[in-house]
Amino acid sequence: MLLIPCPFCGLRNEEEFTSGSEADRHRPADPIALDDQAWVAHLFERANPKGAVREWWWHGRGCRLWFVLERDTVTNAIKVVP
Amino acid sequence: MAARRYSIWSLIRNALAYHEGWARAWRAPEPKPAYDAIIIGGGGHGLATAYYLARDHGIANVAVLEKGWLGGGNTGRNTVTIRSNYLRDPSIRFYEHARRLYEEMSQELNFNVMFSRRGQIDLIQTWAKLRDARRRSLSMALVDAEYEIITPEEVKRRVPLVEIDPTARLPILAATWHPGAGIARHDAVAWGYARQADAAGVDIIQNCEVTGIRRDGGRVTGVETTRGPIAAPRIGVAVAGHAGVVAAMAGLRLPIETVPLQAFVSEPLKPVLDVILNCPALHVYLAQTDKGELIIGGAADGYTSYAQRGGLHVIEQSVATLIELMPRLKRVKMLRQWAGMIDLTYDTSPIISATPVDGLYLNVGWGSGGFKAIPASGEGFAHLLATGRPSPLIQPFGLDRFAQGRLVLETAGASNRE
Ligand SMILES: Cc1cc2nc3c(=O)[nH]c(=O)nc-3n(C[C@H](O)[C@H](O)[C@H](O)COP(=O)(O)OP(=O)(O)OC[C@H]3O[C@@H](n4cnc5c(N)ncnc54)[C@H](O)[C@@H]3O)c2cc1C
Ligand SMILES: [Zn+2]
């Protein structure tokens, strides 16, 4: 079980959180201009890295804050993003 | 180079010779500098593909490159449920074909894969699920696959362990009966395909990790490996949880996330369960192996990971629901627990497909449900690698479905988003 550092509540156990997947994926600025491949890239494709990932977490069963963490997907070591 | 046949006579002959005369089931060759095709990943899918390339297309100058040992990935970690009760027509057709191939696999491979047709019961605890079951049974009837709705009393008659108390938190409203479902020995499936592929001339190379994919003007030319470069004009990728990592070697991003999925087994018991019992609403399913262990699976962990382990709370949840359903299992001891890394696509259907890189083909995205698919996937992928075109059964599972909006949305897996 992961211990996840919520910026508001401190270290809490994983069961209180929901993973929100990779961070830094932004809604396209001009959706009308996108072709199908660009939509696929935005909607479906993931870097899915083996190693460091920046990702969203939601403290849904706590303070309900969304925040970004950096985690290593091999060791599960978590770094708080300043 | 045909494999020496296994039979009652070979068993007796070898027993009389103190079992000292058995030949190796496959060679351990050094990699050659070049092949007609390379398959990355020595799990069930990679090995089956090599076998069908040789059997159906006469292409045997093939290498299967495996970074660890055969079947050491998800193939050797799965809970071996083989069934075809999917939701969408293309899936039902594909998985029912695979299920039928399993029934004759031991004969086909001259290797006892211990396929055992148990039948599967899915418990229905919500009205939405009951409607879904009715729909599935009609869709499955279209391909002559049996899937019928049964009463809670019938469940109790077949599986006395299950409590059907109507005042329970989630009472059992009905169930489905899928008589064709079964289980098989996971390692044996990998070994059976490996032995016959090897006999046909395929080089199976273990401890050989692919570290790069060589390209020349948008075409693959070979791979870099920990045992040196190997050239080939066609490369098939069948690496399950590592799909994204290997695709990135060719500059591709996939609609896939890798997450842990756990399973565990109990101490061996006397026979208590002769069907596969699945409880989708509570996220737990189990079967009893020939050895007597209950083999139990549940939901996937909730985040991406390559750690090949999951959280204890996920298993605790499976155990809690199991005991709610079958209180008499309360004092059974659990023996082992493990996890695999499953490659989940957005629609939880697999990707068997050509790619934007010429000569590079994918057989990935099997998620929590690819063991049952191995024979049909191997057949289809071999066809794709040999001819460059998908066979009708695998055509719906192309990578282009995401751009064309032809998703094959399935909610039948253990890791589904129901
Ligand atoms: C706990 C659990 C329970 C499951 N239960 C079921 C079930 O009941 N029914 C069902 O149908 N399915 C089930 N599955 C899913 C099933 O196990 C998989 O879909 C299936 O085994 C995938 O087979 P594969 O050959 O594609 O992958 P794998 O067996 O994982 O083989 C891929 C191989 O590729 C190798 N590899 C990776 N990267 C490289 C590289 N760079 N170079 C060389 N080799 C590499 C790996 O070492 C691995 O051996 C379950 C999975 C898990 C984890
Ligand atoms: Zn919080």
> Is the CB of residue A15 less than 8 Å away from at least one CB of chain B?
yes
> Does B260 sit in the ligand 1 pocket, CB within 6 Å?
no
- The answer to whether B305 contacts A47, with C-beta atoms less than 8 Å apart, is no
Residues with CB under 5 A from ligand 2 (ion): A 6, 8-9, 59, 62-63
Helix B374-387 / helix B44-57 crossing angle, nearest 10 deg: 50
- Ligand 2 centroid–CA A4 distance in Å is 9
Any ligand 1 atom below 6 A from CB of B182: no
What domain range is A59 assigned to?
1-25+49-82
The distance of Cα A6 from the centroid of its chain, to the nearest Å, equals: 13
pLDDT tens-digit map of A47-78: 999 999 999 999 999 999 999 999 999 999 99
Residues in CB range of B178: below 8 A, 6 or more apart: B83, B84, B85, B119, B120, B121, B122, B146, B147
Which burial class, exposed, middle or buried, applies to B285 when counting CB atoms under 10 A from its CB (0-12, 13-18, 19+)? buried
Chain A residues in contact with B254 (beta carbon < 8 A): 45-46, 48
Tell me the CATH number at A60: 3.30.2270.10
Q: What percent of chain A has pLDDT over 90?
A: 88
Burial of B389 (0-12, 13-18, 19+ CB in 10 A): exposed
Q: Which residues contact B15 (CB under 8 A, 6 or more apart)?
A: none
Q: Please answer whether residues B194 and B42 qualify as being in contact, where contact means their C-beta atoms are separated by less than 8 angstroms.
A: yes
Query: Distance of CA B252 to CAs A12, B210, B356, Å?
Result: 36, 16, 8
* Residue A33 covered by a domain: no
Residue A38 forms part of a structural domain: no
ipTM for the predicted complex comes to 0.95
The mean of the pLDDT values for chain A is 94
Residue A54 lies in a domain: yes
- How do residues B265-320 score in pLDDT, each as one tens digit? 999 999 999 999 999 888 899 999 999 999 999 999 999 999 999 999 999 999 99
- Residue A10, in any domain of the structure: yes
pLDDT tens sequence across B318-376 = 999 999 999 999 999 999 999 999 999 999 999 999 999 999 999 999 999 999 999 99
B77 lines ligand 1 (CB under 6 A): yes
Measured from the Cα of B338, ligand 1's closest atom is 1
DSSP code, position B346: T
Nearest to A19 among B242, B303, B306 (CB): B303
Structure tokens at B153: 């009393």
Q: Is the CB of B255 less than 8 angstroms away from the CB of A44?
A: yes
The residues of chain B scoring below 70 in pLDDT are: 1-3, 412-418
Bridge partners (DSSP) listed for residue B353: B362
B339 vs B91: CA distance, rounded Å: 26
pLDDT (mean) for A3-29: 94
HSE-CB for B315 with a 13 A CA cutoff? 20
pLDDT, position B2: 61
Q: Is position A39 within any domain?
A: no
Tell me how far the alpha carbon of residue B329 lies from the centroid of ligand 2, in angstroms: 37
Query: Which pLDDT score is estimated for B418?
Result: 32
Residues B145 and B151 sit within 8 Å (Cβ to Cβ): no
Residue B415's pLDDT is: 41
Q: B305 contacts in A (CB within 8 Å)?
A: 73-74, 76
Q: Do B403 and A37 touch (CB under 8 A)?
A: yes
Domain assignment present for residue A19? The answer is yes
Whether A77 contacts chain B with CB within 8 A: no
Neighbour count for residue B118 (Cβ, 10 Å): 22
State the CB neighbour count (10 A cutoff) for residue B12. Answer: 10
Mutate to test the interface with A, among B245, B262, B301, B306 (most CBs of A within 10 A): B306
- For residue A42, tell me if it sits in a domain: no
Of B56, B68, B63, nearest to B108 by C-alpha is B56
Return the amino acid letter for B155.
Answer: V
- Please report whether residue A6 resides in a domain: yes
Number of independent structural domains in chain A? 1
Instruction: Compute how many other C-beta atoms are within 10 angstroms of the C-beta atom of residue A49.
Output: 18
